[in-house]
Amino acid sequence: MAITISGSTGIAGVDGSANTPALQGTDTNTGLFYGTDSVSIATAGSERVKINSSGQIEVTAGSSSAPAITPTGDLNTGIYFPSADTIAFTEGGAQVGEFDSSANFKINSGYGSVATIFGCRAWVNFNGTGTIAIRGSGNVSSITDGGTGIYTVNFTNAMPDANYAVALGGDNLTGTGNLILNTSGSFNTTSIQLLLTTGGGGTLIDDNYVSVAVFR
Amino acid sequence: MDKRIIYPTDNGGVAIIVPAPDCGLTIEQIAAKDVPQGKPFKIVDVSDIPSDRTFRNAWEYIE
- The model's pLDDT over A78-104, given as tens digits with 9 standing for 90+, comes to 999 999 999 999 999 999 999 999 999
Q: For residues A145 and A210, what is the distance between their CA atoms, to the nearest angstrom?
A: 12
pLDDT digits (tens, 9 = 90+) for A134-148: 999 999 999 999 999
B18:A144 CB<8 A: yes
Neighbouring C-beta atoms of residue B55, cutoff 10 Å? 9
Q: In this predicted complex, what is the ipTM?
A: 0.93
* A141 closest CB neighbour out of B16, B33, B57: B33
Closest Cα in chain B, distance from residue A143 (Å): 5
- Segments making up each domain of chain A, as ranges: 4-58, 120-215
Q: For residues A134 and A147, what is the distance between their CA atoms, to the nearest angstrom?
A: 16
> φ, ψ for residue A97 (rounded to 5)?
-165, 165
State how far the alpha carbon of B54 is from the alpha carbons of A14, A215, B50, B57, in Å: 88, 34, 10, 8
Residue A169: its pLDDT value, please? 83
Task: Answer whether residue A168 shows pLDDT above 90.
Answer: no
Residue in A203, A175, A209, A143 with CA at minimum distance from that of residue B57: A203
Cα torsion A182, B59, A206, A146: sign: positive
Ordered DSSP codes for A179-212: EEEEEEEEE-SSEEEEEEEETTT--B---S-EEE
* Range in A30-44, A164-178, A187-201 with the lowest mean pLDDT: A164-178
Is the entire prediction scored with pTM above 0.95? no
Residue A151: list chain B partners with CB under 8 A.
none
B34 against A8, higher pLDDT = B34
Residue B19: list chain A partners with CB under 8 A.
134, 141-142
